[in-house]
Amino acid sequence: MSPRPPSPRPSGSPLRPVGTVTRGTTNPNRLRRMDRWIAATHGAVLRRATDPLAVDLGYGAAPWTAVELLTRLRPAAPRVQVVGVEIDPARVAAALPYEREGLTFRHGGFEVPVERPPHLIRAANVLRQYDEEQVAAVWARLCARLAAPEGAGTDTGTGVGGKGGGGAPRSSSRDTGGLLVEGTCDEVGRRHVWVALGPEGPRTVTFAARLGSLDTPSDLAERLPKALIHRNVPGEPVHAFLRDFDRAWAAAAPYASYGARQRWMRAVRDLTSDWPVTDGPVRWRQGEVTVAWEALAPRG
């Protein structure tokens, strides 16, 4: 089957994609933890949207992650459409034979060349090669592309700088608008950390792991996203969080006889006394814990 030419670029979008080509490393099932979390926490927004659109930004040398994103979102939001966006035109051409109903591929970068504001942008393992100083500008650009809350009358803004993102108040609408999920995982998806951002800026940080692969929770430090990985030093909140998580994990050692999941859940429960954990046991059982961005945001 000969590849078709890439989909036409929407009128008014830049001729040159914004960003640089990544290494393109990808493996089937690599992003399952992130996808599972998105479907559980953002599925209702996608389901309520009139014309839900999700973007897999920088899917890499093979289209597996975009194909899997559609498969995992459809049970939660049957009408969702997925667009895979890649800055390397050869990768787009190679992906075109995998197009199907609900899934297309397009040449582009951080400008996100789609015709309407997406309700989800997933950017996994994309910013790892960029400098920390570049992250805020990329976040702001991507957040500005997100769909606003449907029926909301307030200005959500795009404040992504400084502690807590400096964002404007969130809309009171039950629809929280589009979501940017940006993070990093290992090559086989056993360890993953991501930041979730809305149109107003950063909201939460999620740590997720195959629990049998961890000696201590701080093993996840090597997968911190670019905005946090260089901040894992004394005096920074993310360092303090991982230190406290390791202490809680050590204190929960008696629960190890019931399995790593029970030990993880006990450790996370102990964390909630000092840290603003935003999820509950249903997510903890999946080997996840989500913390408010404001608690982990870099200082200075």
Q: What pLDDT is recorded for position 2?
A: 35
Segment 45-72 shows an average pLDDT of: 96
Q: Are strands 120-124 and 179-185 parallel, antiparallel or unpaired?
A: parallel
Buried b (16+ CB within 10 A) or exposed e, 193-215: bbbbbbbbbbbbbbbbbbbeebe
Ranges 25-39, 62-76, 123-137, 148-162: which has the least confidence = 148-162
The residue with greater pLDDT, 133 or 20, is: 133
Is pTM beyond 0.85 here? yes
Residue-wise pLDDT tens digits, 198-246:
999 999 999 999 999 999 999 999 999 999 999 999 999 999 999 999 9
CB 77 within 8 A of CB 46: yes
> Judging by beta carbons within 10 Å of its beta carbon (0-12, 13-18, 19+), is residue 43 exposed, middle or buried?
middle
Q: What pLDDT is recorded for position 211?
A: 96
The band of 65, judged by pLDDT with boundaries at 50, 70 and 90, is: very high
Average pLDDT of the chain is 88
pLDDT value at 167 more than 70? no
Segment 59-76 shows an average pLDDT of: 96
pLDDT value at 52 more than 70? yes
Q: What pLDDT is recorded for position 84?
A: 98
Q: DSSP string covering the chain, please?
A: -PPPPPPPPPTTS-SS-SS--------TTTTHHHHHHHHHHHHHHHHHSSS-EEEEET--SSSHHHHHHHHHHTTT-TT-EEEEEES-HHHHHHHGGG-BTTEEEEE--TT---SS--SEEEEESSGGGS-HHHHHHHHHHHHHHSPPPTT--S------SSGGGGPPPPPSSS----EEEEEEE-TTSSEEEEEEEETTEEEEEEEEE-GGG-SSGGGGGGG--HHHHTT-STTSHHHHHHHHHHHHHHHTGGGGGG-HHHHHHHHHHHHTTTS-B---HHHHTTTEEEEEHHHHPPP-
* pLDDT > 90 fraction of the chain, expressed in percent and rounded: 80
The residue with greater pLDDT, 8 or 67, is: 67
| Closest to 189 in 3D by CA, of 147, 233, 220 | 220
